[in-house]
Structure 1
Amino acid sequence: MGSWEKRRTLLLVNLASIVDTADESLLPAVYKEVGAALHATPVGLGSLTLARSAVQALCYPLAAYMASRYNRVFVITLGAFLWGTATFLVAVSRTFLEVAISRGLNGIGLALAAPAIQALVADSTNDRNRGLAFGWLQFTGLLGSIIGRFIALLLAPTTFLGIDGWRIAFVVVAVVSMIVGMLVWSYAVDPHFSSEPVSKEEDVVYKSVLNEVKDFLKETKSIIQIPSFQIFIAQGVPGTFAGAAFSFLPMWFELIGFSHKYTAFLLTLLSIAYAIGGVFAGVMGDFLAQRLPNAGRVILSQISSGSKIPIAGVLLLGLPYDASSGAIYAVVIFFMGLITSWEDAATNNPIFAEIVPVKSRTSIYALDRSFETVLASFAPPIVGLLAEKTYDYKLGDGIRNDDPKINQENAASLAKALYTAVAIPMALCCSIYSFLYCTYPRDRERAKMDSLIASEIQNIEMESSELVTNYSQLRQFDPEYLDEDFESDVTVGERPLVPE
């Protein structure tokens, strides 16, 4: 794949990442309006996110199988069309059950695309710039969150021809998703799939579906047995759980008394800070990886995950629940996004590419998302249960009550539930990262050795194949030219390279 094709592909997969995260951010941004339309409580709204996340987690193994054995450009395109269709179905749904089913279908498309996008980025970079590339991927993904939330919050309080604005937002993102899918299919290139046609029918190796599944299960087992991967899963589950809990932030801001526009501003500011922090973390991760190859990336993640506990405490518990304090909220939100967004770009995604062979990269990204998302998908309903059952959240008509005093009390209840769902998981996440200091160096060297052995075996097989081909061509030209002594020399071990 040429340099222009590589740049074009990276541009398009980043564009797909924008639409992917825009789609994910739609529903949490309009929890208030959807809750009022469907008469859903915080637990019910959290269950809608659970439906999408649970299906998404269950489909990641399918995504790994498809993306590691088929053209990843096709996989991303298929994912975009699936999540776009499901998002459109949410827009036209009239009952809670219909929305739940549509969100579940949405998870299938999102699951297919994400690992393929990450693997294409990893394959297009090296150890010296991989962190920066993933930093930009995080940047564009968070840009998608900004766009999705902005569209949703901008249209939520409006109506058009009697249609609720939040429904129009879902239709807009659905259409854009399909357009991006067509662009990816038309112009992106998977380096594992040559655009040149196969010249000889015998050069194509066909495998049965059963053998393909066996190979995939074997590959999955080998990845799961990697100690560093096990540690990443162990820290990623509580880390992702804490991140998923923040899906209630838009609703919490509105309970405090912020307008739709200021809520959109705060969430946009948070996403911008996350994006800047991701790029910074990618650069710093690459820098420290050269100077502290066994510890640099891990140190950054522990700083980032550990700092989330006090900063979230200040945001959720330390500030007054008053809309007049909006400037203070903006400062804290920006600082939190800037410092607590380093893990993926600086550590997780670059290290995943180092501890497995190149052919297994798509699988490891998919498996990581699968394991982490299973438990993290329960975060929104758990936050809702904590708010309602433990911290005395008062239910009313929809999400926001007309009584400002009750809204403040509900904001306090939801804040306590959010902090409980953030502080404990992040403390676990920061602690578990420490084990990587022992396992990461060994796993990185083992992966390098495995790749070297595989490369040597492939070179030997190619040389043997060329020798056989040359011998066959010579025999066709002059059968008496080659004697038995030559044939006996063309062997590897006791197996003749030339069939008798």
Structure 2
Amino acid sequence: MAAIMERADENLLPSVYKEVSEAFSAGPSDLGYLTFIRNLVQGVASPLAGVLVINYDRPTVLAMGTLCWAFSTAAVGVSQYFGQVAFWRAVNGLGLAIVIPALQSYIADSYKAGMRGIGFGFLNLIGSVGGIGGGVLATVMAGYDFWGIPGWRCAFIMMATLSSLIAVLVYLFVVDPRDIIDRGIGDSSEKNDLLDKGNGSTASVWVESWTAMKAVMRVRTFQFIVLQGVVGSLPWTAIVFFTFWFELMGFDHNSTAAINSLFGAGCAMGSFIGGLVADRMSLIYPHSGRIMCAQFSAFMGIPFSWFLLRVIPQSVSSYLTFAATIFIMGLTISWCATAANGPMFAEVVPAKHRTMIYAFDRAFEVSFSSFAAPLVGILSERIYGYDPKTVDPVSGSAREALALSRGLFAMMAVPFGLCCLFYTPLYRYFKRDRENTRLASLKEADMI
């Protein structure tokens, strides 16, 4: 439920970009800055999740982060000035920074090595339900007023209320896998790692945090996955403009919501299928199967970006073509996190450092990818001639839709190609890092 609300919250603002643009007289670059500031704070603050998990159980950390993003979401809904929206989006990033790494390490500890692809795939599948629901709900509500209040503001307030409820439920009912292992369930090699919880002084917590940070940063697999993620996450940040782009073409709120929900459904199914296929491939090719799946997925982003943004005629008459293309695109480009990144991270560091490695991955990837959204806006306005003053509130503008699509293509095709390329060194380093971690865990278990 927390994953559902987290993804719904992420999709909330991009789904109402058009209405926010009109309410605050903001162009694509201004809207991009809202995503930029949220992602930048999320990236910089992500290591905080690793520190918190050392001293608190993960259900408590998840509840804290969920309450933080719920409060900031409600504040965006009642903001009267663009500066207020920007500030509360930054606070929203802080909540997500706490939640996402803790959620990822929770999944890693809940599944065995050969099943983690399915575990992460299922997490993404369920989370995507929230992304689709949040995006569709906000897009549809944006077309109406409720009790004299614009629909997009009501969507924010409603989502914040549900998120607060989920935070309470997480705190009351979620059981940390560490507690299960403490009762004698799980791998003996991981049990010793997971029992080593930070219940000491504040100084010892920071010493342990620093030790974990250094251990994570030295792992070559971590370095190359972060490198691909820095560029590979750029297209996903640029995708937040899809709703705005379709509405500029003249699609109404319901049609736009339907197309975006197809993309979300494709990504949901694709992430699960990718994790499942990678688990099977890892049985045949233990040290390279997951990497091959990730490279296939990253490469598929290139032809689909070209066809979607450059080939299909940009008009409402192309509805079915857009719908089919965007669904298959989501089905194939969404494998990397579940097929490779999440499961591989869990195998190259000791179990007690898992939250820290996911936190630092988010720190680097989200911080750098935060530049994608404003770059799309800058490219569209300053190079391709987008002019927000010429956009009709109802029918949009074909000229501005074309300018935005060119900015999107520039931030998608090239990063997808580089992402595919940067996975290649893992064929050499993943096997070595994996074996080193196994040996270290066995030695530590023998000593204990």
TM-score by length of 2: 0.95
In structure 1, C-alpha distance between the alignment counterparts of 2:273 and 2:76, rounded to whole Å: 36
- Alignment partner of 1:440 is 2:430: yes
Matching residue within 93, 99, 103 for 1:113: 99
- Alignment partner of 1:455 is 2:448: no
> What residue is the counterpart of 2:268 in the other structure?
275
In structure 1, C-alpha distance between the alignment counterparts of 2:4 and 2:66, rounded to whole Å: 11
1:395 Cα offset (Å): 2.3
1:389 Cα offset (Å): 0.5
> What residue is the counterpart of 2:124 in the other structure?
138
AA at the equivalent of 2:275: G
1:454 Cα offset (Å): 1.5
Matching residue within 2, 8, 17 for 1:31: 17
In structure 1, C-alpha distance between the alignment counterparts of 2:177 and 2:115, rounded to whole Å: 18
Contact 2:228 2:420 in 1 (8 A): yes
> What residue is the counterpart of 1:401 in the other structure?
392
In structure 1, C-alpha distance between the alignment counterparts of 2:388 and 2:24, rounded to whole Å: 14
> What residue is the counterpart of 1:22 in the other structure?
8
- 2:425 alignment partner, SS class: helix
In structure 2, C-alpha distance between the alignment counterparts of 1:276 and 1:74, rounded to whole Å: 30
> What residue is the counterpart of 1:80 in the other structure?
66
In structure 2, C-alpha distance between the alignment counterparts of 1:187 and 1:87, rounded to whole Å: 24
Contact 1:245 1:383 in 2 (8 A): yes
AA at the equivalent of 2:153: R
Q: Deviations over 1:38-66 (max 9, x none)?
A: 11111111111111111111110111110
Contact 1:355 1:444 in 2 (8 A): yes
Q: Deviations over 1:226-283 (max 9, x none)?
A: 0010000110001111110111000000111111101000110001111111111111
The change in CA–CA distance for 1:312 and 1:129 in structure 2 (over 3 A counts) is same
1:108 Cα offset (Å): 1.0
In structure 1, C-alpha distance between the alignment counterparts of 2:90 and 2:128, rounded to whole Å: 22
> What residue is the counterpart of 1:420 in the other structure?
410
AA at the equivalent of 2:203: L
Q: Deviations over 1:140-199 (max 9, x none)?
A: 1111110110110111011112111000000111011011111111111113247999xx
What are structure 1's unaligned runs of at least 5 residues? 1-14, 198-202, 459-500
- Alignment partner of 1:431 is 2:424: no
In structure 1, C-alpha distance between the alignment counterparts of 2:90 and 2:38, rounded to whole Å: 4
Contact 1:68 1:363 in 2 (8 A): no
The change in CA–CA distance for 1:206 and 1:307 in structure 2 (over 3 A counts) is closer
Please report the RMSD computed on the Cα atoms of aligned residues, expressed in angstroms: 1.8
In structure 2, C-alpha distance between the alignment counterparts of 1:425 and 1:217, rounded to whole Å: 32
- Alignment partner of 1:69 is 2:55: yes
The change in CA–CA distance for 1:396 and 1:119 in structure 2 (over 3 A counts) is same
TM-score by length of 1: 0.85
1:403 Cα offset (Å): 9.4
> What residue is the counterpart of 1:475 in the other structure?
none
In structure 1, C-alpha distance between the alignment counterparts of 2:226 and 2:345, rounded to whole Å: 11
Contact 1:33 1:156 in 2 (8 A): yes
- Alignment partner of 1:249 is 2:239: no
Q: Which entry has the higher C-alpha Rg, 1 or 2?
A: 1
The aligned runs of 1:224-235 (5 Å cut-off) are: 224-235=217-228
- Alignment partner of 1:288 is 2:274: no
Matching residue within 81, 87, 106 for 1:101: 87
The change in CA–CA distance for 1:219 and 1:182 in structure 2 (over 3 A counts) is same
The change in CA–CA distance for 1:66 and 1:163 in structure 2 (over 3 A counts) is same
The change in CA–CA distance for 1:166 and 1:216 in structure 2 (over 3 A counts) is same
In structure 1, C-alpha distance between the alignment counterparts of 2:54 and 2:372, rounded to whole Å: 30
In structure 2, C-alpha distance between the alignment counterparts of 1:402 and 1:101, rounded to whole Å: 27
- 1:401 alignment partner, SS class: coil
The aligned runs of 1:356-371 (5 Å cut-off) are: 356-371=349-364
Q: Deviations over 1:268-319 (max 9, x none)?
A: 0001111111111111111010110111100011111011011110000000
Percent identity between the aligned chains?
Answer: 38
The change in CA–CA distance for 1:327 and 1:206 in structure 2 (over 3 A counts) is closer
AA at the equivalent of 2:57: N
Contact 2:54 2:197 in 1 (8 A): no
Matching residue within 151, 158, 163 for 1:165: 151
The change in CA–CA distance for 1:196 and 1:416 in structure 2 (over 3 A counts) is closer
Contact 1:393 1:414 in 2 (8 A): yes
> What residue is the counterpart of 2:306 in the other structure?
313
AA at the equivalent of 1:323: V
1:402 Cα offset (Å): 5.9
AA at the equivalent of 1:330: A
AA at the equivalent of 2:443: I
> What residue is the counterpart of 1:303 in the other structure?
296
In structure 1, C-alpha distance between the alignment counterparts of 2:273 and 2:335, rounded to whole Å: 8
> What residue is the counterpart of 2:112 in the other structure?
126
The aligned runs of 1:212-227 (5 Å cut-off) are: 212-227=205-220
In structure 1, C-alpha distance between the alignment counterparts of 2:180 and 2:346, rounded to whole Å: 22
Contact 1:401 1:407 in 2 (8 A): yes
1:68 Cα offset (Å): 3.0
Contact 2:270 2:331 in 1 (8 A): yes
